[in-house]
Structure 1
Amino acid sequence: MELEQLLFGLEEELLEGATRSDAVRLSQLLADDFVEFGASGNVWGCKDEVIAGLQEEVFSVRRMSGFAVKVLGEGVALVTYRCHREGVGDSLRSSVWREEKGRWRMVFHQGTPAAVV
């Protein structure tokens, strides 16, 4: 499978309600040293905090557009896209993914509120 397709599928999975409420799956997708700068302005530096927060989240449907992948080095890639969140608005998203023992895991994620166009 091409890297862009693989990472698109993983990002898409992380937007789904079933995944966001599944602590086991989230633990597989997020690296142990995961950090997030949220579109809300919050910073999460602990993977367990992120997983716990997603368990309590009121889910709203999200979709992606403008998806792109840039390889940063062997086994490391930057993903960027625009996230459309129903009832909330758009945000610009970036994620750093790292291959660990044959699996891709998210190391960093940032959401920035998008200007209305």
Structure 2
Amino acid sequence: MLLEKLRLLERSLHGDRRNDREWLERLLHPEFREITRSGVIVDRSETITSLLSEKIASSIISSHFRLTEMAVGCVMLQYRTSYADGSRPALRSSCWLCSEEGQWSLFFHQGTPAAFGA
């Protein structure tokens, strides 16, 4: 099922693979952009550099995944995250594109602090 496949790909960015340059270069679309939790727009290169420079990644818990097909080969994945201790809750949206070869790549991502109780 597509939701499960993309949920696994998305969660791969929450663990040890955050520090795997080869994996990140394969997963992030060449035109990847992100609006960070703090409201800064970054590109693929900046994202990869930032992830590779993390000394210790906090354990990220993700839940409440929802998948919406926007067009053939283009979907939006929305979900919630927080650190394992419940801090830093965020609402997240990711736009995934499927290549002609059937490979999914992350084209756009945004994380927004979640309002209390949201």
TM-score range, shorter chain: over 0.9
CA distance in 2, matches of 1:112, 1:13: 19
How many residues were matched structurally? 114
Q: Where does residue 95 of structure 2 map in the other structure?
A: 96
Give CA deviations for 1:54-82 in whole Å, capped at 9, x if unaligned: 11124101011110100111000000000
Q: Where does residue 50 of structure 1 map in the other structure?
A: 47
Deviation (angstroms), 1:34:
0.1
Of 23-32 and 49-58, the range deviating more from structure 2: 49-58
Where does structure 1 lack aligned partners over 5 or more consecutive residues? none
How big is the alpha-carbon RMSD for the aligned residues of Structure 1 and Structure 2? 1.1
SS at match of 2:116: coil
Q: Where does residue 69 of structure 1 map in the other structure?
A: 67
Where does structure 2 lack aligned partners over 5 or more consecutive residues? none
Give CA deviations for 1:20-61 in whole Å, capped at 9, x if unaligned: 1011100111000000000022210x2111100111124101
SS at match of 2:94: strand
Counting aligned pairs with the same residue, the percent is 34
Q: Which structure 1 residue ranges, 4+ long, deviate > 4 Å from structure 2?
A: none
CA distance in 1, matches of 2:113, 2:84: 14
Q: TM-score, normalised by structure 1?
A: 0.92
CA distance in 2, matches of 1:92, 1:9: 17
CA distance in 1, matches of 2:67, 2:35: 19
